[in-house]
Amino acid sequence: MRRLPVALLFASLVVLVALAAAPAEGVKAVLELDQDFYYVGDPFLVKISIGNDGAAEATNPVKGGLFEGFEVESGGKKLEPSGKAGAAEPARPAKLAPKAFYGTVVDLTQIFPQMKNAGAYRLRWVADGVKSNPIELKIIPKFDPTKDYEAQVETEEGSFVIDLLESRSPVAVKSFVDLANAGFYDGLIFHDVRPDQAVAGGDPSGTGAGQAPFRFPAELSAAPVLAGTVILKPAGLAPPSNSSQFVISLRPEPRWTGQFTILGQVVIGLDVVKKISNVPSEKPSFRPSKDIHTLHVRIIEKQSVTPTP
C-alpha cells in the first residue's frame, strides 16, 4: 500500500481543520439595541440573531447556546461574566433555510452585573467562527428632577458654565443632560458664530440642519432673553418641538421673548462665548472659518431643588 508523504498528510489535515472551523457561507450573527443609551440600574436588553443570508440552505455552525458568546469591554478591559441569564435559550436548529434566523432578547446585566454601572461599553458576540457586528454604547446616570444641574462646557477656546433651569424647562433640561452624559455633544462644532450677538452649536451634521435622533415638545417661556441666555433652536414648528441644537445669546433679545425654550444661563465664562462669537466666519452662513469644537460637556449635580425638612 502506497503511503502519502508526511507533509501532504499534514497539509490535508490543516485544510480539513480549517473547513471544519469555517462558518457556513451566509450565516451571520447580528446584535440589535432598541435605544441609543441606557440608564444606570435599568435592564440592558440586547437582541441576538443567528441568520442565513445566503440563497441556499446552510448548516448552523453554532454548536452551543447563545448566551455564552457575548463579549463585553469597558475601559479597554474585557469583562468576565459573573451571572446567569434569566431567559431561556432558544431552540437551536441544525439547518437554516435561506433568510431564516433564530434568536432571543437577553438582559446582559444579568450575565455581566458590572454593566449596572455608568460607563462606556463595547459589545459583540463570537462563537464557532461566527462574529457579530460590534456595538458601542453608554450607560448613563438617571436624571433626577429633584436635583439642580449645571453644565461645564469645555471648548478649544476655553470653558464656560451653564446653569440649567430645570424648574422652567424640565423636559429640555432632562434631554440636554442625557445627551451630554451620553457624550453626544463631545466633538461637535459651533456651526454659527455672530460677533457679540450669538453662537449656535449642538448640530451633529455641523450644518445647522441636523438634530439628535429624537424630538420633544417645546416649553416656551415668557422670561426675557439676556446676555448669556441659552435657548433651544426649534427642530420643528408644527407642533413646536426641540432637539439638540442650542443658541447662546450675547445681548438682550426682546424679540425672542416667548418664542423659544430657555435651557439655561451662562454664569461663568461668558467672555469665552464672546471669544467664540468673534472667530472669523464665512458669509452669509456665519460658519466659522476654523472649526471650534465642543470638546466635552460635563454635567454637575449642584443641590436638591426641594429643601429637606
Residue 16 has pLDDT above 60, yes or no: no
pTM reported for the whole predicted model: 0.82
Residue-wise pLDDT tens digits, 118-173: 999 999 999 999 999 999 999 999 999 999 999 999 999 999 999 999 999 999 99
**Per residue in 185-216, pLDDT tens?**
999 999 999 999 999 999 999 999 999 989 99
Q: Are residues 115 and 256 in the same domain?
A: no
Say whether both 98 and 116 belong to one domain: yes
Question: Which among 125, 140, 155 is the end of a domain?
Answer: 140
Q: How confident is the model at residue 20 (pLDDT cuts 50, 70, 90)?
A: very low
Last residue of one domain, picked from the residues 140, 165, 183: 140
Bridge partners of residue 31, in order along the sequence: 48
Angle at 169 between CA 307 and CA 37, to 5 degrees: 95
When the pLDDT of each residue in the chain is averaged and rounded to a whole number, the result is 90
75 pLDDT tier (thresholds 50, 70, 90): very high
The CATH number of the domain holding residue 86 is 2.60.40.2970
pLDDT at 123: 97
- Residue 236: pLDDT band (50, 70, 90) is confident
Residue 65: pLDDT band (50, 70, 90) is very high
In a domain, 1, yes or no: no
Residue corresponding to grid cell 431561556: 88
Confidence of residue 303 (pLDDT cuts 50, 70, 90): low
What total number of domains does the chain contain? 2
In a domain, 4, yes or no: no
pLDDT in tens, 242-277: 999 999 999 999 999 999 999 999 999 999 999 999
Q: Pull the grid cell for residue 250.
A: 450675547
**Domain housing 200:** 147-304
| 3-class DSSP string for 109-177 | HHHCHHHHCCEEEEEEEEECCEEECCEEEEEECCCCCCEEEEEEEEECCEEEEEEECCCCCHHHHHHHH
Q: Which of 100, 118, 140 is the last residue of a domain?
A: 140
